[in-house]
Amino acid sequence: MGAITSGDRPGQGMRKQATRFKKQAFLCIPVYLLFALTLTSIHAAPGGRSAPVEVATAQRVLMAPRTWVAGTVISRNEARLAAEVAGTLVMVKDVGTRVKEGGVVARIDPTFSKLKIEELQAQVESDRARLQFLDSEVRRNQRLAKQNNAAQIRLEQVRADREVARNELRIARVRLRQAREELRRHSLRAPFDSVVAERFKHRGERVAVGDSVVRVVDPRSLEVRAQAPLATRDFIQEGEPLTLSVGGKQVSALVRALVTAGDDRSRLLDLRIQLDDGAWTVGQPVRVALPTAKPAMVLAVPRDALVLRRAGAFVFRIDADNKAQRVPVKLGVASGDLVAVNGALKPGDRVVVRGGERLRPGSVVKILGDDSQREK
């Protein structure tokens, strides 16, 4: 309180201080009003603007706990082509080349095999001519044998020579077929429609019988190979779907085969999962969800309905008056976009999946897409 000067009349200083206090109180009124309006907007009190939200319903579904294992995309048709004859490579297809079934992937120099074929062809012609000559000799000696015994002895000798010649011709023809087969094996051909995935030898290199030259794969016949723990054996069946995770996305695929002969040391089973579309690449890593127990009925909500905090998880349930209620939940198993929850929820309850970031318990909401809630 200021001091009263000698020029002030009695009570004049008190009136000045009262006036200043009224002015300060008047200036504070807008601040209080703004604060009250903010609280009203946050809590969306009846008569105020409702918060727009999207909702989904809690539902009872069949779920099983799962474990995730690593898998790899492989081709069901894959072959490592090896040399069947020795020689020098004169052609090898580049990696990435597509080859039709029966198409040549690599070729070994066939010069010596071709020369061998020419030699055997000449041998066949020579043996055929000799056989024809002996045939005529048999006929001639048959006529002479009717006149004297000497011709009879000669006839028997010629018949024996003709039989030898016939066998020699047969052997020569077999050797010719072998040479032609050997020539055919100078070309390594694709056993199915495939892509050259790897080259082990290059043009100009010499190969021995059994040396790997190229590896080819069928890019259209793909599947996932994964190692499943023995404990999951009773919960995986051929023909049933499993969830695959790749690149942040989840897809469903059917089990093609489960090799039950587990490894005694690794305690793992060989699992094969069929892939139907062509959006996969050989060698691509994936993750496979395997059930670890029998499915059970649980109450589940969409993942987007969960609000996660250090103190725990909760959802916002919308009651009949379109007011938000905070419901703490405990999380269970997950399957796709649904998560099992345990809390004060029941099937059919509406839970917020969009727009719940600024909700508070008791907030009035406007459900998007609900014609009955449109503002008039």
CATH code, 335: 2.40.420.20
Shared domain check, 155 and 121: yes
Is residue 211 domain-resident?
no
Is residue 343 domain-resident?
yes
Is residue 325 domain-resident?
yes
SS (H, E, C) the chain: CCCCCCCCCCCHHHHHHHHHHHHHHHHHHHHHHHHHHHHHHHHCCCCCCCEEEEEEECEEEEECCEEEEEEEEEECCEEEEECCCCEEEEEECCCCCEECCCCEEEEECCHHHHHHHHHHHHHHHHHHHHHHHHHHHHHHHHHHCCCCHHHHHHHHHHHHHHHHHHHHHHHHHHHHHHHHHHHHCCEEECCCCEEEEEECCCCCCEECCCCEEEEEECCCCEEEEEEEEHHHHHHCCCCCEEEEEECCEEEEEEEEEEECCCCCCCCEEEEEEECCCCCCCCCCEEEEEEECCCCEEEEEEEHHHCEEECCEEEEEEECCCCEEEEEEEEEEEEECCEEEEEECCCCCCEEEEECCCCCCCCCEEEECCCHHHCCC
Residue 20's pLDDT band, with cuts at 50, 70 and 90, is low
Shared domain check, 363 and 337: yes
Total number of domains constituting the chain: 3
**pLDDT tens profile 281-290:** 888 999 999 9
| Mean pLDDT computed over 88-93 | 96
In this predicted model, which residue has the larger pLDDT, 208 or 147?
A: 208
Give yes or no for a contact between 297 and 61, defined as CB atoms under 8 angstroms apart: yes
Shared domain check, 180 and 128: yes
Is residue 302 domain-resident?
yes
Find residue 316's DSSP bridge partners. Answer: 326
| Mean pLDDT computed over 368-376 | 52
Question: Does the pLDDT at position 271 exceed 90?
Answer: yes
Burial (Cβ within 10 Å: 0-12, 13-18, ≥19) of residue 279: exposed
Above pLDDT 70, what percent of the chain? 82
Q: What is the CATH number of the domain that holds 256?
A: 2.40.30.170
Residue 64's pLDDT band, with cuts at 50, 70 and 90, is confident
Q: For residues 307 and 360, what is the distance between their CA atoms, to the nearest angstrom?
A: 12
Global confidence as pTM:
0.60
Find residue 340's DSSP bridge partners. Answer: 300
Is residue 123 domain-resident?
yes
**Closest listed residue to residue 217, CA positions, set 108, 309, 80:** 80
| The pLDDT of residue 42 | 45
Is residue 237 domain-resident?
yes
In this predicted model, which residue has the larger pLDDT, 115 or 357?
A: 115
Q: Among 96-100, 298-302, 343-347, 364-368, which is the least confidently predicted range?
A: 364-368
Is residue 135 domain-resident?
yes
Shared domain check, 239 and 252: yes
Residue 2's pLDDT band, with cuts at 50, 70 and 90, is very low
Shared domain check, 333 and 301: yes
Domain boundary among 186, 208, 243: 186
Torsion sign (Cα): 294, 299, 305, 311: negative
Per-residue tokens: 45: 């009190």
- Which residue range is the domain that position 243 belongs to? 67-76+221-291
